[in-house]
Structures are given as structure tokens and as C-alpha cells.
Amino acid sequence: MARSVTQNRKIINTSAAWAVGLLIFFPILWTILTSFKTEAQAISDPPVFLAFDWTLENYGAVMERSNYARFLWNSIVIAGGSTILGIIIAVPAAWSMAFVPSKRTKDILLWMLSTKMLPAVGVLYPIYLLFIKLGLLDTKFGLTIVLMLINLPIIVWMLYTYFKEIPGEILEAARMDGASLKEEVLYVLTPMAIPGIASTLLLNVILAWNEAFWTLNLTAAKAAPLTAFIASYSSPEGLFYAKLSAASTMAIAPILILGWFSQKQLVSGLTFGAVK
Amino acid sequence: MATQHSRSAARLMMAPAVVLLLGWMLIPLSMTLFFSFKKYLPLRGDSMANGLEWVGFANYARFVGSSAFWPSVQATLVIVGGVLVITVVLGVLLALLLNQPMWGQGVVRILVIAPFFVMPTVSALVWKNMFMDPTNGLLAYLWKFFGAEPIAWLSQASLPSLIMIVSWQWLPFATLILLTAIQSLDGEQLEAAEMDGAPSIKRFWFIVLPHLSRAITIVILIQTIFLLAIFAEIFVTTGGAFGTKTLSYLIFQRVLESQNVGLGSAGGVYAIILANIVAIFLMRIVGKNLDA
Amino acid sequence: MGQIQLNQVTKSFGDVQVIPPLDLTIEDGEFTVFVGPSGCGKSTLLRLIAGLEDITSGHIAIDGTDATDVPPAKRGLAMVFQSYALYPHMSVRKNIAFPMRMAGIDQAEQDRRIEAAAKALNLTDYLDRRPGQLSGGQRQRVAIGRAIVREPAAFLFDEPLSNLDAALRVGMRLEISEMHERLKTTMIYVTHDQVEAMTMADKIVVLRAGIVEQVGSPLELYQRPGNTFVAGFIGSPKMNLINGPEAAKYNAATIGIRPEHIDISETEGMWQGTVGVSEHLGSDTFFHIQSGLSPEPLTVRASGERKLKYGTEVYLTPQADHLHRFDQNGLRIE
């Protein structure tokens, strides 16, 4: 769009956008600020914005809470494990669909996506029952598998769209150059798809990290990740705003950072490519 | 573009994903279907081993007939509808704003997207305690500052509060998608309309909005599927009290809290059917895109 | 060595047969061009030879041994793709080395062959660049370099020049011909451009709808087209084809006459017509003459100095010994 915009217009746009942006971001900002206050300052009347005695004591207190590290570790294992497992299963599947398409490829892909739409609550009891029977209830392994399965359609989908953009002729060239199927995938496809695989990884770590239905319902004390840890603050004994804020900040900070990196892939990943 | 050799390799490589998802879908689904026709109250001694009593469609009838059913449908509709209206309308406006030339566009974008990355239990908890708490919440201070009586948000205005929390979480999603859609609009089209003498309101109405219609449809469909299933926000804030019991929360309570598996499963089947109706429309759009 | 034999080869996609039974032998060292309009099956045929597609029935033999079920990697053929298909994440050097790396050739020999290929293709200064930093012509050369170092039994080219601009295309055409003279390796070259076919080929295979219409040297095809399709396809500008009563005078359903075999006069001749558009190329002039003989105007070649105004009445006389006659089925009558 080659059109000149007056400086005034731009100033108005900028201030409006920044005002709205800060308003939307405010709850997060407020949480982060509160995490550095003392408990008394956190509920002082009137509220203090910046002029308070900055302290790290809340972080110390949360870390010391007997089991915080374990919740964090559970989150890392479950989110990371389910994503890596999902990618290992999805790469070959996406290769097949992208480079050896058949008449059924589209149907299979759509069917896979449709499993993502299954309401979790509709299958809650069967999964719960199976978990008891298989001894998976409140285990990291069980949760890793479930989160892998619920995100697998998105992983397959995202990898499929990335692979589709790699011209088939390049893989055929590798075949003509004497590469076996393994060498073709290893030396040609994978290096070319690294950016796509990385962003798929990123988005799925985020989704798995934040998942809150299965993580709340299939865990108790042992395997509970941060989602459950935070939920435990909803009981009245947890009404310590500063500590709550510190715990929340720690739970969301890594994902906020990852999320900012992945915002480009977010749209096509979450709309199944319907919006690019 | 393939030989027999690569086709059979492809089938083999696709198998794990297909088999896993097929199992993940079919096994629980058939179990839910099975339970929905049975009387199954584990706490009263019913168990698979002893055999379950076949009750036909009684669970389906009871689920719909219970006094909690219609209020839950109403709560679901209000929440889903409210969030959709807020996120789509504000999302369009925000996307238009963010698409304007400005300084620090990238940073503003990041600020706007951020709530989407906050885990649902955190956002529910932060809103509940630090903003909506009637004594220490920030909103209470604001009300008092203007001389008004603070509101006990989550009990007195439970549905609007919940809509507000969920809208805050989903507004970034709508904005991001609509912004992406707006950016694909051909600038020359707008200039042509301007040459034709269309004022900016009309340009928005006749060119920008129709261009966005597809993206808006997708936002509505995807959000509907996720909003029908919201759980953590209710679990953390009201626990289903004060009229915030949605259909899926009702099913959750039937299944896990009162351990009436047969009844809950019948409710689950309703939920699955409902989600599928929405999903069909979404899959159609996605499918068309695959052909292109 | 690189003799390729196709024996009753067919190819179907689902129910659609794109190549009906086809027999063809490409001799060792021959430069063979598959030419035909788009969708004629020429690229499919090349991919069958490469092994990138399975043949539905029949046999393919390379140097006398059956290669029908041999995977592409093992056929010892090298291919240059229309899109060049370079590996974007590798430098030019690594691209060229890739087939040798796959074959397990030792490093010293790899380096020797890369240097030689780079020198021959003017790529020495670009060996450490990525394909993305090269121009279209340079990428084309890298693709050729990658093919050469394998020392294959035969080279397969799939419309390799169609992504280049016109000037570069002429240059690359010469380079590929030059390369063939030097290496004497079998080459199979697919194109829809009959000029490329005429200028480069030892043998042209004209394809239409998967069927071989005619096989022969460029001059054979030009001078004695086997049917009306080949007559119309080979040669630029196209041969004039005339149906109806005028053809019947020669006991044929269709007669054909090339633009250079018609004499044009303002005073007398066999056929009467009106001058339409004239195209002055400098060396030659092509006149498009409206006549009642065929719906399209007849094309006539005259010397570059010849000038005729739009709308001038003229007379045309075909040279009788250069007249081609075809029967109702379009086949040549000798």
C-alpha cells in the first residue's frame, strides 16, 4: 500500500494502539509487579503501582514450598515429552501424506483433525477408568501419552503443511542421486524442514504446558504439573496475593517467552491452515 | 508421483499415527456409548465385573429431564454467545487498529497476544483474586474510588465475570487471526474504492468486512468448539456455583463428583454430538482449503 | 554405456491410461528428444525411465539388463529437473558432491570431479555459495554439474530450459549440445519447444496423448512428416495445411506446404489471396495471406527485402515437389 499517512494520524494510531495493548496486558503486568511486593503491599489500599519495596521473598517462599520443584519438573516432562513423542510419530506420517498423497490423504488428514474436536468431558470416565485399570492414574507417563494424543492431530497437520512446501522434485533428485529412503529423509528432508519442525515443537509445548482438563482430572499429588499447582491456590488458604503472583509468574513466564517466538506459526497452526 | 515401493513405505510410516488416533477415538467413545445405556453408580457397588444393568434410553431421558439441565444449557449458551460477540467485535476493531501504520507495532502485537499464552488456571485465579475479589480486588478499589459499592463479581455477576475472563483469554486469538486476514487484503482494492468515492465507513462495510467473513467464520467455529469445553476457568472460580454450571461442567460433576457414570455418559454423548455439528462446518472450510 | 530399451511399456493413473503400449530403443550415445504439446505424456515417459514412477506393464532394459523393478537410485541415471531441484541447505560444492557422497566415492576423487565440473561449467567462483544466491542460469549449471559427476549411463533432462529467459535459453542449448559432443553419453531430453528439439536432437520422438507419432532425425521429420500432427508440430512457422476440394485435386484429404515452398507473385499464380499482416524479421519476411483455401491465413516466406502492402491482391504457387499429401486419417501418402 503506497500511501502517505500524515504524522498526526500516526501519532493517534500509536497512542490508541499502545493504550489498548497495555490495557489488555495489564493483568499480566499487575501479576508480575505484585509478585515483587510484600504481602501487605499487595493488598494495600490504595494499591501501589511501582513505588513499593521490591522484594524477591515471594519467589523464595514459593520455591521453598515443599513441592514446587516437582510440579515444575512434571510440567517440563509432560509438555516436553508429549511434544517430542508426538513429533517422532508425526514426521513419518506427515512425510507420507505430503509426498506420497493418495485419494484418501485428505480424508485421513481431516479425520485426524476431527479427533481434536472431540469434547474431552465426553470421554472423561472411560479414560479415567482405563487409567485406573492400567495403573496410569497420576503418572507422568500416562499424562504424557494423553497430551501427545490430543495434540498429535495439530503436530501432523503443521508438519504436513511445512513438508508440502518442499518441492517433491528435490526429494526425487535425491532419489536419482542414489539416496535411500532413510538418506533422503535424513540428509535432505529433515534439514530443509528444521524451521517447520522447530515451530511445531514450540507451539505444542505451549499447548501441552497450558492444558488444564486432563492435567487436573488425571493427577493427584504425584504427577500434577503447574496447572494443578496453581489451581490449588484457589482454596481460601491460598489467599496470599504476592505469593500467588510469584507462582503464577513462574508458571507463565517460560511460555510467554516461547509464545512470542512462535506467534507467526500460531495462526496457521491453530486454524488448521484455514487462515494464512 | 510415486512408485509402488514408496507407496508401501508411506503406508507403513503413516500407520502409527493412524492406529493411535483411531484407538484414542474409538475405545473411549464406544465405552461412553456403552455406559450411557447402563445404570452405573460405582459408589453404590455397580461394577463392570458384576455386569451392569441395561436401562435403554433412561439415562438420556433423565439427563435432559433433570432440573440442572436447562439452566446448564442456558449458561453454556450465554457464555459461548457472550464470549463470541465480545471477541469477534473487539477482535475486528483491534485488528483494524493494529493494521494501521504506527510506532512499535511489533511490541503492541506482543502485548495483545500475551493473554493467550497464560495457562487457564492462572488467568482464572488472577482474575478471581486480584481483580474480582470484593475486598482486596483491584476492581473493588476502582469502584470505591468512584464512590460506588464494590461488587462481589463472581457471586453477584457470575456469568458476566466469567465471560469477561474467558473473553480476555480468547480476544488475542481472534485478533491475531483477523489481523492476519486483514493483512492479506489487497490495498489496491481499497484505493479503487476510494477513487470510486466510497467513504471509509462504506469501504469497511463493503470491502473489509466481506473480506474478513471467512476468517470470522473460522474464529467463531474454532472458539465455539473450545468454549463448549471450558473447564479450568469454572473449576477454579466458582466450581459451578452461582449459575455458571455449563453443560460440560454438569457432565464432569455427574461423572466424577457424584459418580453417576451412566447419566454422565449420556450427557457426554450429547456433548459429542453437539461438538460434531460444529466440527462438520469447520472441517468443510478446512477441506476446501486443502484442495486449493 | 547407455542403451535404453522400452518394451510394451504402459502407464495408467487409476483408470486413465496415459501411455498405451510403447516400444522404443534409445541407442548408446544418442541425443534423443521427447517433444510434444503439454500433457502428451513426455514427462511421464521420462519419469518411467528414471524409475520415479512405476510402469503399469511392460519392461525397461538399460544396457540389456532388465531395470523394470530397479529403484531410481540404482539405475545409474542422472536427471536434471525443470525446477533444478537443488538442495537449498547445501552449498554448491555439497550439492555437486551429494551423489558421490551417496555412492561412497572417496574424498580426493570427489574433489577432483567437482573441480573439473566446476571448471567446465564456469562455477569455480561460486562453489561456496548457496543455491539461493545464484541466478537461474547458474542454478541450471549446478544441476548439470550434479548430474555430470556421477558419470551416469545416461542423462535425463526434464524441460531444463523452460525457466530461463529467452537469451539464456539459446546459450544453455548450445552448452548442452557441446557437452554431449564432449561426453558422448546417452541423453534423453524432454521439451515442448520444437526449436529445442530440432536444434539439439540426434533423434526426435514426437508424442501425442502418450502415443509415439513419429521417430526420426530432425531433418527426416521436417522433410517427411508421417502425419498431419507431426507436419503441424515440427517447423516454425507451421506448415500450411489445406483440406477440402483443393486437396482433392491432389488425391488427398489434406495437403501441406511449408511457408518457404510457396512462391508469391502480384501478377499470376495458382491460388489467389489478400495480404494480411507481414512480419519482417530482417533476413526473411513472413506474409500471412487470406485465401479461400483454409480458415487460417496461409504463411508464406519471402526474402527480407520483399514488401507487400496490407490488402494487396497476390497469387501463390506451391512448389509441387515439396507438397505433402495426407489421407483421411491424416497419414502421409507417398
**Per-residue pLDDT tens for B166-202?**
999 999 989 988 988 888 887 777 778 778 877 888 8
Peptide bond into A254 cis (omega under 30): no
Of A60, A84, A102, at which residue does a domain stop? A60
More confident residue, B261 or B289: B261
Is C180 in the same domain as C256? no
Is C209 in the same domain as C253? no
Average of per-residue pLDDT across C175-184: 91
Is A40 in the same domain as A135? no
Residue A229's pLDDT is: 82
**C-alpha cell, A177:** 542421486
Is C147 in the same domain as C254? no
Measure the CA–CA gap between A190 and C89, rounded to whole angstroms: 10
Q: Do B100 and A17 touch (CB under 8 A)?
A: yes
Which residues 199-228 of B have a C-beta within 8 angstroms of A? 214-215, 218, 222, 225, 228
Give the number of other CB atoms < 10 A from CB of residue C182: 9
pLDDT 10s digits, B4-33 = 777 888 888 889 999 999 999 899 999 999
Banded pLDDT at B149 (limits 50, 70, 90)? confident
Return mean pLDDT, chain A: 84
Three-class DSSP category at C298: strand
Of C180, C196, C230, at which residue does a domain stop? C230
Residue A2's pLDDT is: 42
Q: Are B63 and B265 in contact (CB under 8 A)?
A: no
Give yes or no for A197 touching B (CB within 8 A): no
Is A276 within a domain? Answer: no
Which residues 45-74 of C have a C-beta within 8 angstroms of B? 51-54, 71
Measure the CA–CA gap between C176 and C192, rounded to whole angstroms: 17
Measure the CA–CA gap between C159 and C163, rounded to whole angstroms: 8
Q: Do B287 and A114 touch (CB under 8 A)?
A: no
Is A124 within a domain? Answer: yes
Q: Do C71 and B3 touch (CB under 8 A)?
A: yes
Return mean pLDDT, chain B: 84
Is A112 within a domain? Answer: yes
Is C56 in the same domain as C203? yes
CB-side exposure of A195: number of CA atoms within 13 Å?
9
Q: Do A172 and C79 touch (CB under 8 A)?
A: yes
Is C45 in the same domain as C159? yes
Return mean pLDDT, chain C: 91
Which residues does chain A have within 8 Å of residue B109's beta carbon, measured at their own beta carbons? Answer: 21, 263
Distance from CA of A109 to the nearest CA of C (A): 22
Residue A4's pLDDT is: 57
Specify the DSSP class assigned to residue B231: -
Is A250 within a domain? Answer: no
Which residues 5-24 of B have a C-beta within 8 angstroms of C? 5
Among A207, A217, A214, A212, smallest CA distance to A230 is for A212
Three-class DSSP category at B3: coil
Is A274 within a domain? Answer: no
Domain that holds residue C301: 238-333
- Number of independent structural domains in chain C: 2
Query: What is the CATH classification number for the domain harbouring A147?
Result: 1.10.3720.10
Residue B1's pLDDT is: 46
Residue B84's pLDDT is: 92
Residue A1's pLDDT is: 43
Distance from CA of C84 to the nearest CA of B (A): 17
Peptide bond into C237 cis (omega under 30): yes
**Range scoring the smallest mean pLDDT among A256-270, B199-213, C320-334:** A256-270
Is A37 in the same domain as A125? no
Of C172, C206, C230, at which residue does a domain stop? C230
Domain that holds residue A174: 66-234
Amino acid letter for position C16: V
Is A55 in the same domain as A104? no
Distance from CA of B256 to the nearest CA of A (A): 8
Measure the CA–CA gap between A159 and C120, rounded to whole angstroms: 40
Is C208 in the same domain as C146? yes
Give me the residue from C74, C81, C89 closest to A173, CB to CB: C81
Of A44, A60, A76, at which residue does a domain stop? A60
Of C203, C230, C257, at which residue does a domain stop? C230
Q: Are A209 and A79 in contact (CB under 8 A)?
A: yes
Measure the CA–CA gap between C2 and C28, rounded to whole angstroms: 5
Is C218 in the same domain as C275? no
Is C119 in the same domain as C222? yes
Amino acid letter for position A252: I
Is C107 in the same domain as C130? yes
Specify the DSSP class assigned to residue C227: B
Task: Return the percentage of chain A with pLDDT > 70, whole number.
Answer: 91
Is A121 in the same domain as A23? no
Is A275 within a domain? Answer: no
Is C102 in the same domain as C162? yes
**Range scoring the smallest mean pLDDT among A20-34, B214-228, C222-236:** B214-228
Q: Do C87 and A167 touch (CB under 8 A)?
A: no
Would strands C298-303 and C284-290 be described as parallel, antiparallel, or unpaired?
antiparallel
Is A102 within a domain? Answer: yes
Is A36 in the same domain as A89? no
Is A79 in the same domain as A194? yes
Domains of chain B, earliest start first: 56-291 (1.10.3720.10)
Is A93 in the same domain as A175? yes
pLDDT 10s digits, A173-198 = 998 998 888 888 889 988 888 888 88
Give yes or no for A267 touching B (CB within 8 A): yes
Give yes or no for A212 touching B (CB within 8 A): yes
- Number of independent structural domains in chain A: 2
Is A37 in the same domain as A126? no
pLDDT 10s digits, C85-131 = 999 989 999 999 999 998 888 999 999 999 999 988 889 999 999 99
Is C252 in the same domain as C160? no
Is A49 in the same domain as A183? no
Three-class DSSP category at C81: coil
pLDDT 10s digits, A48-88 = 777 777 888 888 887 777 577 888 889 999 999 999 999 99
Is A196 in the same domain as A227? yes
Measured distance between the N- and C-terminal CA atoms of chain B, rounded to whole angstroms = 19
Is A70 in the same domain as A54? no
Measure the CA–CA gap between C280 and C263, rounded to whole angstroms: 17
Is C276 in the same domain as C215? no
Average of per-residue pLDDT across B71-97: 91
Query: What is the CATH classification number for the domain harbouring C135?
Result: 3.40.50.300
Burial of B161 (0-12, 13-18, 19+ CB in 10 A): buried
